[in-house]
Amino acid sequence: MAEVTLKGVAKSYGRTPAVREFDLDIADEEFVVFVGPSGCGKSTTLRMIAGLEDITGGEIRIGDRVVNDLPPRDRNISMVFQNYALYPHMTVRENQAFGLRLAGRAKEEIARKVARASGILGLDPYLERRPAALSGGQRQRVAMGRAIVRDPDVFLFDEPLSNLDAKLRGQMRTEIKKLHEKVRTTVIYVTHDQVEAMTLADRIVVMRDGRIEQVGTPEEVYHRPVSDFVASFIGSPPMNLLEGRIVAEGDAPAVALSGGPVLPLGPGHARLPAGASVTLGLRPEAIAPQGMAGPMRRPFAFEADITLVEPLGGEALIFLALGDREMTARVFRPPARLAPARGVQFLVDLAEASVFDGGTGRRLGDDGAN
Ligand SMILES: Nc1ncnc2c1ncn2[C@@H]1O[C@H](COP(=O)(O)OP(=O)(O)OP(=O)(O)O)[C@@H](O)[C@H]1O
Ligand SMILES: [Mg+2]
C-alpha cells in the first residue's frame, strides 16, 4: 500500500520533450487511469514510475520514499504489459512462482502466495498447463498472477487488454475491477480505450502532448470537460461540437449556431461577451426526438432531419442534419419505427450544454448554474 506523488516530472529524449511538468498525487488504494492519444506520453510516465526510464527532471515518491534513483526492483511495484511475456517452457504455477524463487523466498511462502493469486484469478484448473495451451485471457490472468504474488505497493498496467478481442476485453475489464476490490492496492493503468478509463477509474488523467489536460472522476471528465479536446476524447460517440457566436438575449446570453437556431444558455454563462466565437458541446444523450426524450431540466425544441438510424439493441444512434451540420443523438429503448425522416421535432437539454472558447478550446462559463 502506498501513495504515489509526481512533482514536476519531465522526460526528454534528446531535445524532444515526451513528458513535461507532470504533477499528480495518487492516494493509497486509488485506481488511476491515464488516457490520451497515441504518443502523448502515457507509457513514458508509467515507465518512469516503474524505474525503467530515468527522469529528466522532477521528483517521484512512492510511499514516503523518493525513488528517483532507486532501481526498479527496489520500488516494490509490479508491472503488467500488453504482451504478457510468459515463459513458454514453464507451467502456469512455475510462471507465477518464478520471481519469488529468484528472490530466494521459502517454498511454503511461494506455495501460499501462488495459491492465493491463482484462487483470486480463477487459475486453479490450469496450474500444470503451459502458456501455449491457454487462451489469451487466461495468459493475461497468469501475467497478473505473477504481479500479485509479489505483494506490490503499486500495480502498473500498460494497455494490458489491447491484444484481446472485444468480448474478452470486456470480461477482463470486469475481472481487473474485481481484482482491485479484493487486493486493494494502488493501481496506475494506461489505456487509450475511453470505456476502460470510464469503467475502471476512481480518477482519470487525460494527457495531451506530454501534459496533463484534465484530472477528475469519470463523472467530472465526462460532464465537465475542461476543453473541447477532452470533450471529443471521452465519450462514444463523442460530444457534438458546434461552432457559433454569443448573442445577447436580454440578461441571458445565447449561442447562435452558424446558419442554425439560437440556443439560450443558462444563467451560469451570463458573463460571456456578445460576439465571442464559441464551440457548443452537446452529449448525444442530451438530444432526442420529441416523445423519446427522458426528463430534461432545460429543454429546447428544434426541427431537424433524421439522415440515418443505427439500432444497437437497447439503444439507437440517430444522425441528424441541422442546416449543413451533422449531429448525433442517442436514445434508449428506441421504438421499431425509428427511420430517416424530414422535419422531425427534437428536444435538447441545454442544462447539459458545455461552452468552449472558439479559439483556445477551453471551457467557458460558471458550472453548476446552468
Ligand atoms: N526511446 C525513445 N526515444 C525517443 N523518443 C521516444 C522514446 N520512447 C518514446 N518516445 C517518444 O515519446 C513520446 C511519448 O511516447 P509514449 O510511448 O509515452 O506514448 P504513449 O502515450 O504511451 O503512446 P501509445 O498510446 O501509442 O502507447 C512519443 O512522441 C514517442 O515517440
Ligand atoms: Mg504506450
Higher pLDDT among residues 72 and 83, named by residue: 72
> Which grid coordinates belong to 164?
484481446
Measured in Å, residue 13 CA sits from the centre of ligand 1 at 9
Cα–Cα distance measured from residue 114 to residue 265, given in angstroms and rounded to the nearest whole number: 58
Measured in Å, residue 336 CA sits from the centre of ligand 1 at 47
pLDDT of residue 370: 46
Cβ atoms of residues 34 and 188 within 8 Å: yes
pLDDT band, residue 369 (cuts 50/70/90): very low
Measured in Å, residue 171 CA sits from the centre of ligand 2 at 22
Residue nearest (by alpha carbon) to ligand 1 atom 16: 41
Does residue 362 lie within any of the structural domains? no
Measured in Å, residue 79 CA sits from the centre of ligand 2 at 13
pLDDT of residue 250: 66
pLDDT band, residue 3 (cuts 50/70/90): very high
Q: Is the pLDDT of residue 118 over 60?
A: yes
Q: What's the one-letter identity of residue 115?
A: A
Cα–Cα nearest to 220, from 202, 238, 232: 202
Query: Which residue's C-alpha cell is 484481446?
Result: 164
Does residue 366 lie within any of the structural domains? no
Q: Are residues 222 and 345 in the same domain?
A: no
Measured in Å, residue 81 CA sits from the centre of ligand 2 at 10
Does residue 370 lie within any of the structural domains? no
For the segment 224-239, the average pLDDT, to the nearest whole number, is 94
Residue nearest (by alpha carbon) to ligand 1 atom 22: 43
pLDDT of residue 168: 81
> From the alpha carbon of 159, which atom of ligand 1 is closest?
27
Cβ atoms of residues 183 and 27 within 8 Å: no
Please give the tally of structural domains in the chain: 2
pLDDT of residue 361: 96
DSSP code string of 188-212? EEE-S-HHHHHHH-SEEEEEETTEE
Q: Are residues 105 and 38 in the same domain?
A: yes
Least distant ligand from the CA of 211: 1
The gap from C-alpha 171 to its chain's centroid, in whole angstroms, comes to 17
Q: Are residues 220 and 253 in the same domain?
A: no
Does residue 19 lie within any of the structural domains? yes
65 Cβ neighbours under 8 A, 6+ residues apart = none
Question: Which of the listed residues 9, 11, 12, 13 should we mutate to test ligand 1's pocket, taking the one with most ligand atoms within 8 A of CB?
Answer: 13
pLDDT band, residue 59 (cuts 50/70/90): very high
- pLDDT tens digit sequence for 151-176: 899 999 999 888 778 888 888 898 88
**Mean per-residue pLDDT of the chain:** 92
Question: Which of the listed residues 44, 156, 212 should we mutate to test ligand 1's pocket, taking the one with most ligand atoms within 8 A of CB?
Answer: 44
Which range, of 1-5, 51-55, 184-188, averages the lowest pLDDT?
A: 1-5
Strands 262-264 and 341-349, sheet pairing: unpaired
Q: Are residues 50 and 183 in the same domain?
A: yes
21 class by beta-carbon count within 10 Å (0-12 exposed, 13-18 middle, 19+ buried) = middle
The gap from C-alpha 63 to its chain's centroid, in whole angstroms, comes to 25
> Which grid coordinates belong to 139?
495468459
Q: Are residues 284 and 329 in the same domain?
A: yes
Q: Are residues 177 and 78 in the same domain?
A: yes
Task: Domain of residue 307: give its range.
Answer: 240-357
- pLDDT tens digit sequence for 84-109: 789 999 999 999 999 999 989 999 99
The helix/strand/coil state of 174 is helix
Does residue 323 lie within any of the structural domains? yes
Q: Is the pLDDT of residue 367 over 70?
A: no
Residue nearest (by alpha carbon) to ligand 1 atom 24: 38
Q: Is the pLDDT of residue 336 over 90?
A: no
For the segment 119-130, the average pLDDT, to the nearest whole number, is 92
CATH of the domain at 284: 2.40.50.140
Those residues whose beta carbon sits under 5 angstroms from the ion ligand 2 are 43
297 class by beta-carbon count within 10 Å (0-12 exposed, 13-18 middle, 19+ buried) = exposed
Does residue 329 lie within any of the structural domains? yes
Q: Is the pLDDT of residue 1 over 80?
A: no
